[in-house]
Structure 1
Amino acid sequence: MHNDAPGSAPTAGKTTTAAVRDQDATAGAPAVANAPEPARPAARRTPSREMLAGLVSAVAILAAAGGIVAADSFAPQPAGTRGIPAALASVPAGANVGVCPGPARLLEGTEAGTDPQFSPESATAKSVVTGAVLSAPGGVLPASQLSALNGTPAVEIAKGGGQPAQEAGPQDLKAGVLNGHSVNGATVLGAEAMAGQKPSAAGVLKYSATDGDLQGSAAANCTPPANDLWLAGASTTVGRTSVLVLSNASSTPATVSLELFGSKGQIQAPGSRGLLVAPGTTRSIVLAGLAPGEPQLSVHVRSAGGPVAAAIQQSVLRGLTPGGVDFIVPGAAPAARQVMTGLDIQDAGGISAITGKDGFGDAGPALTITVPGPSNAVVEVRIFGRDGQKALPSGGVVTAKAGSVTEISLAGVPAGHYTVSTSSDVSFVASARVTRGVNGEKASDVAWAASGVRLGSQHVVPVPQGGDRSLVVGVLENRATISYAPITADGRIRPAATADVAGGTTTSIKLPGTVEESAVVAYVVSASGDAAYGALLLQQEGRDDVSTLALMPAASGQEKVAVALGY
């Protein structure tokens, strides 16, 4: 699902000039003799003369009809049938709003099949939100803050109120930062529009724990609310827990309907329609109550009324051994191409050994393809590593059945960081599973890489503190240049570094924790050249923790919509 967003590089256009030749045709006519001839009987008409006479009559009739049509076209039309061309109207720039899911919580039980009860968090659980907001040229920051879902302010990032100078250039930027603020529920990171432009801002929630059934790490982008969302990668088999969390940060009630797709087709589940989410609240739904025993489950969320944010808290428990926790966030909408990067694949031998054990079949990397339409999809899968494309055990071409979810194993690929490109002749949704840990006696972790968008200009990429942080970039063809400038805790945007990435490869850039003794909170990432895709890969030295986050789209400029008048 290919959702290429335009990059920042200029695109060369083609100009075609058509030469038109006029040809002059000169018709000659025979001379007519005027000399008198002897009288003779009248000659009968020949067939050719009769045909010529008919053609002349036909031409006369057509000419008369054409005159009638032409006259009619110039006649005044009834007012009700005249069309008014649609005009483009500028849409006022809106605020940049991202909803961050709440901390991961252990599911204790249910009251009515889908409504969860949660037990207290473990002693070591920690959830923080990290974010950054870019100023307008001239260094004027928009009003921005982190608030509770109901609008109660939590942290002010910038007061706003200033106006950017007319002569300011793009080099006069600075940032407002949120450096790891602890949270205990869903939050909203918002930045107000300034000078008719939507501000550049982004936030990330990071959860971590070193004890309990939910030990490991999980991270999620703070995503903008929408009325149509796709989430892929859930599982409701024994030991797997999937809780869909719907958040309504608007002032309008939202009525949500769910479409569920499993390995054997679409699932008609009572209770999946007409779910009310009140303004400023969250609603949690245990997916096993709607679709039990599904090894692969994708969810299409549609909201009428207020837009919602959605995330699935996915956790694994293999007997008494924790198998990881993650937040599944929405990926790109159904499309003919989907790209996922930031995949960390372990040694093939270790993966083969662990997945061969009972209950560990999903402990290896895999790709899921969801085809929502009525036609099967023939999907071509390509995987690119540091030194080029690698062969897949499946051969790279798979038929995914219509209306269902198909899993494709990525086991057997050499260890490393990868980008996966999938394409088909019909639209589909895709996501990739990343796992860490090959010892069945120790806790492991899992993460899901959502399909992302093509990189453009000025993506804000928050980087939570702690552990190993890598910027992973994949380029499918030719070459791309990546620029990445650190934002430090003092609000300064430091000089950018660049990386030249060859087509058909994936590059990993290890990000430092500090620059000149100031903590790095975020990066400003831009791309030029051919299509590039990026992700943030989070790991923990000495542990098997893993999280991967597709880079969020850059802020768009002022939009125009077509407005048609009629009745």
Structure 2
Amino acid sequence: MKCPSVRSTAVSDDPRKTVGQTPTPDDGRPVKAARPEDARQKRARGSSETRPESRNGSRSGRGSRTGVVTGVLSAVVILAAGGGAVAAATMVPQPSGGTATDIRQADVPAGRSLGVCPEQARLVSGTVVGTDADFSPVSTTASSALNAVVLSNPAGTVPGTKVTSLAGDQVAEIAKAPTSTPSPTAGPPVLAAGTASISPVTAPAVVGADPIGNEQASLAANLSYSATDGDLRGSAVAPCQQPGNDSWLLGANTSLGRTAVLNVSNASETPATVSLDLFGYQGQIQAPGARGLLVAPGTTRSVNLAGLAPGEAQLAVRVRSTGGPVAATVQQSVLRGLVPGGVEFLAPGNGPANLQVMAGVDIQDPAALKALSGKAGFPDAVPALQIAVPGTADAVVQVRLYGANGERKLPSGGVVTVKGGTVATLNLDGVPAGSYTVAASSDVSFVASTRVARGSNAEEATDFAWSPSSSRLGSQHLVAVPRDGQRFLAFGVPEGRATVSYAPVTDDGAVGKAVDVDISGGTTSMIELPAKSGEAVVAGYVVSASGDPVYGALFLGKQGRNDVSVVAIQDAAAGLEKVPVSVGY
């Protein structure tokens, strides 16, 4: 991976405003090992733990008697059937009663924080027959950059952080591993950061941060791409993903003039076997080449989705892997004749759920969009909500839009029925121009993503973006921002009231003073971000939220151009995890 320009810093700064810590999850379940004799001895002693209780906590005489009779009858049958075996067993000395220790909380060792970044967008060349895509060089004006931020612990110690290739070769060092880890002192945290901006990016990369204090490091990174000429004209930004074994990607399109290339990267040391579940307008698509795709350690496999599902205008892809975890994105581009229609990286959103929320949905003038969508080749040049229902049950989805001044009703009524196993698209036409948060709910689990469109002249290049569904914000989310262009933080509060704080992180490693914003329920706030904080360039933000549920995204554009991209704010780093463990003998 060629990196002519690398800027990285990791310094401490003075104490700043207190930022809340991420709540510690407790996902483990007790594990108890006990000998078979324990249960028999308890029953012999008539332990109260085996006696049924009534709903209000008192013993039920009828239920208790029934249990005793049933137990006696069962014992008679067992003795009659195996009396010899029982008699023989009673002659063998039995061990003393089992002993169990108290349940204790065992610390789970924290792993490295990883972000797997795709390479810059490239043109597909050759035939679409088969699944593997060949690429040709992109335009002469194309540029790309990897932007990364890593946050210190409350004592101001920045964890060791590096950028490597998928194979593990070092590309850049963001922060050296600390020689010691001082414990946080009483009072406000002393936050610092390590930052980097690497350009150009010619191959997939991995940003990795070591754990510190047995907690995962707070890390955020993204890959930004931009071009002013060529078929891939426009902007695309992809978050660097934590690898996983199950993810959903919406917004793919393989119809005429549309190209969708799935890139699956394996940054682990274990081979990954990947299977793709494809869903279209008419249901699940059975493609023989979608199963058992081997992705070797330290490699990326590219799959041209037109070879698996040709002519699909709305395509959802579920990526599942066994063995090594993987990171997956779809490079989606549009070409209408000779006019570029935009490029974007489709990133995974939340998995199937009854509620999906997408922030950062900016809508242009509805009249201009309606006129454009009526032209041949432009049905996908308008904002729209895409919904996929994985199961067999139909989903009746209620859609609500929340703008700067409250909820906006959709002309269609905001209710759409999506058949089980299919994908449907609801155009968000007729909505006044402005920034919105889209909330969709149903009693059947589904996945969703929202398209943002830019440009209203059919003779000029247009662009598009997809805002995937995301989780509600908590404390200390880290957001990396590109160093150029227009940057906005978009926050949506569907109901209630919430407070959001955001503090700038500059390229010299300082964490600035947080700004608090009070947001009313049913509204969306778009906050334009400055290029600098003082004399230093802004590299990212620390975002925290309190109150009722808040959802956020990073909205990106270019002054005087139709370029657009949206990146959902990712989950905060996990704190120290504990698992309850009980050991007995």
- 1:412 aligned onto 2:414: no
1:411 and 1:63, CA in 2 relative to 1: closer, same or farther beyond 3 A? closer
1:83 and 1:506, CA in 2 relative to 1: closer, same or farther beyond 3 A? farther
* Residue type of the alignment partner of 2:430: G
CA shift at 1:538, angstroms? 0.3
Equivalent of 1:508 in 526, 546, 561: 526
Q: Distance between the aligned counterparts of 2:103 and 2:261, measured in 1?
A: 45
SS in 1 for 2:367: helix
Identity rate, percent: 55
Q: Distance between the aligned counterparts of 1:258 and 1:440, measured in 2?
A: 35
SS in 2 for 1:351: helix
1:311 corresponds in structure 2 to 329
Q: Distance between the aligned counterparts of 2:70 and 2:215, measured in 1?
A: 55
Q: Residue 180 of structure 1 contacts residue 465 of structure 1 at CA under 8 Å; is this kept in 2?
A: no
- 1:183 aligned onto 2:184: no
2:191 corresponds in structure 1 to 173
Equivalent of 1:125 in 138, 142, 150: 142
Length-normalised TM-score, structure 2: 0.83
Q: Distance between the aligned counterparts of 1:477 and 1:170, measured in 2?
A: 31
Q: Residue 7 of structure 1 contacts residue 454 of structure 1 at CA under 8 Å; is this kept in 2?
A: no
**Offset from partner CA, 1:16-45 (integer Å, 9 cap, x none):** xxxx9x9xxxxxxxxxxxxxxxxxxxxxxx
Q: Distance between the aligned counterparts of 2:127 and 2:387, measured in 1?
A: 30
Q: Distance between the aligned counterparts of 2:184 and 2:145, measured in 1?
A: 37
Q: Residue 498 of structure 2 contacts residue 547 of structure 2 at CA under 8 Å; is this kept in 1?
A: yes
Give runs of aligned pairs for residues 54-69 of structure 1, distance below 5 A. none
Q: Residue 9 of structure 1 contacts residue 527 of structure 1 at CA under 8 Å; is this kept in 2?
A: no
* Residue type of the alignment partner of 1:481: T
Give runs of aligned pairs for residues 318-397 of structure 1, distance below 5 A. 318-397=336-415
2:283 corresponds in structure 1 to 265
* Residue type of the alignment partner of 1:99: V
CA shift at 1:167, angstroms? 2.0
Give runs of aligned pairs for residues 276-315 of structure 1, distance below 5 A. 276-315=294-333
- 1:138 aligned onto 2:155: yes
1:107 corresponds in structure 2 to 124
1:41 corresponds in structure 2 to none
Pairs aligned (count)? 510
1:63 and 1:452, CA in 2 relative to 1: closer, same or farther beyond 3 A? closer
Q: Residue 8 of structure 1 contacts residue 528 of structure 1 at CA under 8 Å; is this kept in 2?
A: no
Equivalent of 1:148 in 158, 165, 189: 165
1:555 and 1:169, CA in 2 relative to 1: closer, same or farther beyond 3 A? farther
CA shift at 1:69, angstroms? 6.3
2:265 corresponds in structure 1 to 247
- 1:222 aligned onto 2:234: no
Q: Distance between the aligned counterparts of 2:564 and 2:511, measured in 1?
A: 28
CA shift at 1:525, angstroms? 0.4
SS in 1 for 2:288: coil
SS in 2 for 1:271: helix
CA shift at 1:560, angstroms? 3.1
Q: Residue 258 of structure 1 contacts residue 301 of structure 1 at CA under 8 Å; is this kept in 2?
A: yes
**Offset from partner CA, 1:394-417 (integer Å, 9 cap, x none):** 201111110000100101111111
* Residue type of the alignment partner of 1:140: T
CA shift at 1:147, angstroms? 1.1
Q: Distance between the aligned counterparts of 1:121 and 1:170, measured in 2?
A: 49
Unaligned runs of 5+ in 2: 1-19, 25-55, 76-89
Q: Distance between the aligned counterparts of 1:148 and 1:471, measured in 2?
A: 30
Equivalent of 2:449 in 431, 449, 466: 431
Q: Residue 22 of structure 2 contacts residue 572 of structure 2 at CA under 8 Å; is this kept in 1?
A: no
- 1:474 aligned onto 2:492: yes
CA shift at 1:91, angstroms? 1.6
1:53 corresponds in structure 2 to none
CA shift at 1:166, angstroms? 4.3
1:555 corresponds in structure 2 to 573
CA shift at 1:66, angstroms? 6.8
Q: Distance between the aligned counterparts of 1:132 and 1:68, measured in 2?
A: 64
- 1:90 aligned onto 2:107: yes
Once superposed, what is the RMSD of the aligned Cα atoms? Answer: 2.9
CA shift at 1:344, angstroms? 1.0
